[in-house]
Structure 1
Amino acid sequence: MRIHPLVVDGLITAAQTTVAVLLGREAVRQGWPALDTLDWTLVALANLPTFLRTRAPVTICVFVLAVCVVYVGRGGWPVVNSLGPMLAFYTVASLRPTRATAVCAALMAAVWVYAGVVTDGSSMASVAAQSVAYPLVLWWFGHTARRTADLTRQLKAEQAERARREVAEERVRIARELHDVVAHHMAVINVQAGLARFVFTSDAPTARGALDAIEGASAEALAELRRMLGLLRADGVQGEAEGAPAPGLDQLAEMVERVRAGGVPVDLTVTGEPRPLPPGVQLCLYRVVQEALTNVLKHAPGAHATVELAYRAGEMTASVIDDGTGEGVIPARKRQRGGHGLIGMRERAKLYGGTIVVGPRSEGGFGVHLTLPTSARTARRGDTVAE
């Protein structure tokens, strides 16, 4: 349990004042005059104000030193009120700049020397040494405390900034996921809705097939959106749909079939020996292929697309090419602006240390080629995009 700073200050002031009172009662035994009412009032004024030392460090320090001068000038034992000035000066050193600390250190040393001068039998050499040593030691401790506090504040600020960056990165990731999910399924729904409208009165079976495809695409889009929203829930309670795993390569064939239903002929080829891959790598491959096929649906109507997935030693490659004769997968103007789909593909490749090449093909059409390392040793930090 953390104690409030004011409570701590109150306890310190109470303990310090108690010690001063005990020393005041001990003064007679040490050969000093007994304290009268004014002396006890000066003891209180030299100790109780330190409760407010953190609010006005310099003012409290100067006030306490002035009270000590009056007390010693009346012939009192200097030791009685020694703790108050030291605590007040330490607070100045820990909270205020060097100039203010130096002024208070000089005042404290002067009061110490004054007490030695007005006290009979004092060794001035010892008093002079103490007037230098005590302020220097307290100054060093105060400076250390201030430096520690500054470092703590800096660390908290850096942690807060890192947390803000992580939140921003998470928002970008979520936005990218939403883009990939919604763009792909809406493209399929748009194509199928157009087909259903065109053949609604002339070809009922085809229209029903298009409506079935719309139903399937919308249901899958909702399921993925529920999964994403489930990840954001603070209570950690997820339903069956919300707890569904992220899409992986085992769902690639379903996605290709859905694009075929949208009117784009797609061939899927898998080479190499299939092996388990990290979920993040699978999601990256799935989303890049999904985005590429979505752009074929939107920007290359009538084109034939080919998806090639290759398992290689230490890496995976995925290629999506089309034979469209138009502007290709991504129109020229959109490419110049850096469309969200291309940005998303670049960021995914960069996140997993891969490379991605996007651009028109010399033989016609458009292509996307992604290479992802599947182990930390082969990971290449950075990405490449060619157009």
Structure 2
Amino acid sequence: MTSTGERQGEGVRAGPLWWGRPGEAVLDVGLGLVSALECGWEGVAVAGEAGVPTAVGVVLAALVGATLVLRRRWPVAVVLVGIAVAPAAIGFLLGLVGLYTVAASEVPRRITVTLTSMSFVATFVVMWVRTRADVNGEVGPGYVATLAVFIAVALNVPPVLYGLYMGARRRLLESLQERADSLERELSLLADRAEERAEWARQEERTRIAREMHDVVAHRVSLMVVHAAALQAVAVKDPEKARRNAALVGDMGRQALTELREMLGVLRAPQPSSGVVSGVAAVPVREAAGVAAAVRSVSCGGSAGVGEEGPTLGELRALVGQSRAAGMRVELDVRGEAGVYAAEVEQAAYRVVQEALTNCHKHAAGAEVVVRVAHRGGEVAVQVENGRPCDGGVPEPGLPSGGNGLVGMRERVLGLGGVFVAGPTDAGGFRVSAVLPGAGAAEVA
């Protein structure tokens, strides 16, 4: 017997009328027919005792028994009908199934207790009266009362207890199903978010890799073009200087090719896995981070290998010397006592100066450039300022510009929690300034 009067959940019902499934309708109709037959059979005796035509008694009793079909729709009404016909001693199945339905349904427990008490009292009274009439005083009232209580308990308590058990079991299963559905939705949402984070991480690492390649290769190639322009200008007038410039172009070209080859090798090499990592986006994020770290290690200049630190502030003199060798009038002004900075801070400061010098080669040929580095407290400030380009100097080599230099510098500085400012000066030149916290963004946070 399945629980009746159950809440079928919200949504479209699969069965007819108020039934949740076709099988429930078949079961209730079958129970209604059995109950109608039982009541109709018992109605013959009731009609004789009441003095009404047998056909009328049978029909009325069958209608009473057929109300069991409504047990899922109106369980309380079915129990009340069973209590009402208890004096006629009909509706045995109607009473049992009705009480079970009320106990298993979502009817408030106080109503269930009230109906059970009413049914118990009605059964006890009916059995008391009928038993006393049957024994006709042959046994004492104690025996009659005990028998009446026993029959009332047997007819009312088991169906109620079983109904309570089935209702609790159904509610537990529904709760577990809802929890499983909720967990499935959460897992789906987590998977979507993890995929979004993985895509964001891939995009972020692509941007970082592009920035590193731009900073490393563009600077050396720019110097090569500057030296080539100077070589063309002095090839006839000063062969010795032309020879030195040609040697510098060759050296820088080889360095640029070496760095580019190392970067491409890092991008092609598979990243080793460090074990099983939970999370949908763990593998792509780890791989992207590994590639970016390797590219950053390669980008330290020369033939740096994977795992080495990037360029530092101590290498600025060599960087300025390369620009001087290319014919730029550049000064380096360092103030304050250098502190201990995070590796990413020194690398970012170096890249800002490097990119700013590259822009001076591109757009301010012949101009005087000043590189300033200030160590103050727990931060380091760098500034690269050039004057107005000279009209009578070496012709501007016409280097192409992708417009990503200032963007890359700003991303580097802001990513470490620093301040970046760039713009033209009143004297017609251009100034790039950056202030970086010495501890780096990770430690500051």
TM-score tier, shorter chain, comes to: 0.5 to 0.7
**In the alignment, structure 1 residue 181 sits paired with structure 2 residue 216:** yes
Q: How far apart are residue 363 of structure 1 and its match?
A: 3.4
| Partner in structure 1 of residue 99 of structure 2 | 125
Kindly indicate whether the alpha-carbon contact (under 8 Å) linking 2:340 and 2:438 is maintained by their aligned counterparts in 1. Answer: no
Alignment of 1:300-311 (within 5 A): 300-311=364-375
Q: How far apart are residue 102 of structure 1 and its match?
A: 8.2
| Partner in structure 1 of residue 380 of structure 2 | 316
**In the alignment, structure 1 residue 359 sits paired with structure 2 residue 423:** yes
Q: Distance in 1 between matches of 2:176 and 2:247?
A: 77
**In the alignment, structure 1 residue 197 sits paired with structure 2 residue 109:** no
Alignment of 1:306-345 (within 5 A): 306-325=370-389, 339-345=403-409
- Match of 2:11, SS state, is helix
Q: Count the aligned residue pairs.
A: 282
Change (3 A) 1:301 1:371: same
* Superimposed CA distance per residue, residues 13-47 of structure 1 (whole angstroms, 9 cap, x where no aligned partner): xxxxxxxxxxxxxxxxxxxxxxxxxxxxxxxxxxx
| Partner in structure 2 of residue 220 of structure 1 | 255
Give, as a single letter, the amino acid of the residue that structure 1 aligns with 2:103: A
- Identify which of 6, 20, 23 aligns with 1:106: 20
Q: How far apart are residue 156 of structure 1 and its match?
A: 0.4
Q: How far apart are residue 380 of structure 1 and its match?
A: 9.1
| Partner in structure 1 of residue 325 of structure 2 | 261
Change (3 A) 1:303 1:379: farther
Q: Distance in 2 between matches of 1:248 and 1:114?
A: 88
Q: How far apart are residue 377 of structure 1 and its match?
A: 9.1
Give, as a single letter, the amino acid of the residue that structure 1 aligns with 2:20: A
Q: How far apart are residue 191 of structure 1 and its match?
A: 0.9
Q: How far apart are residue 316 of structure 1 and its match?
A: 0.6
Give, as a single letter, the amino acid of the residue that structure 2 aligns with 1:189: M
Q: How far apart are residue 298 of structure 1 and its match?
A: 0.7
Change (3 A) 1:250 1:101: farther
**In the alignment, structure 1 residue 206 sits paired with structure 2 residue 241:** yes
Change (3 A) 1:175 1:378: closer
Structure with the greater alpha carbon radius of gyration:
2
Kindly indicate whether the alpha-carbon contact (under 8 Å) linking 2:370 and 2:386 is maintained by their aligned counterparts in 1. Answer: yes
Q: Distance in 1 between matches of 2:13 and 2:312?
A: 65
* Superimposed CA distance per residue, residues 314-337 of structure 1 (whole angstroms, 9 cap, x where no aligned partner): 11100101122479xxxxxxxxx9
| Partner in structure 2 of residue 52 of structure 1 | none
Change (3 A) 1:376 1:186: closer
* Superimposed CA distance per residue, residues 336-375 of structure 1 (whole angstroms, 9 cap, x where no aligned partner): x993111111111210111112112223422111111113
Could you tell me the TM-score, scaled by structure 2's length? 0.55
| Partner in structure 2 of residue 292 of structure 1 | 356
| Partner in structure 1 of residue 184 of structure 2 | 149
Q: How far apart are residue 174 of structure 1 and its match?
A: 1.1
Q: RMSD of aligned C-alpha atoms?
A: 3.7
Q: Distance in 2 between matches of 1:291 and 1:339?
A: 12
Structure 1, unaligned runs of 5 or more:
1-77, 83-88, 328-336, 382-387
Change (3 A) 1:291 1:229: same
Q: How far apart are residue 225 of structure 1 and its match?
A: 3.1
Q: How far apart are residue 285 of structure 1 and its match?
A: 0.6
Change (3 A) 1:216 1:274: farther
Give, as a single letter, the amino acid of the residue that structure 2 aligns with 1:234: P
Structure 2, unaligned runs of 5 or more:
36-91, 107-166, 273-290, 392-400
Give, as a single letter, the amino acid of the residue that structure 2 aligns with 1:170: E
- Match of 2:328, SS state, is coil
Q: Distance in 1 between matches of 2:29 and 2:174?
A: 21
Q: How far apart are residue 152 of structure 1 and its match?
A: 0.7
Q: Distance in 2 between matches of 1:363 and 1:249?
A: 28
| Partner in structure 1 of residue 270 of structure 2 | 234
- Identical amino acids, percent of aligned pairs: 35
| Partner in structure 2 of residue 250 of structure 1 | 314
Give, as a single letter, the amino acid of the residue that structure 1 aligns with 2:256: A
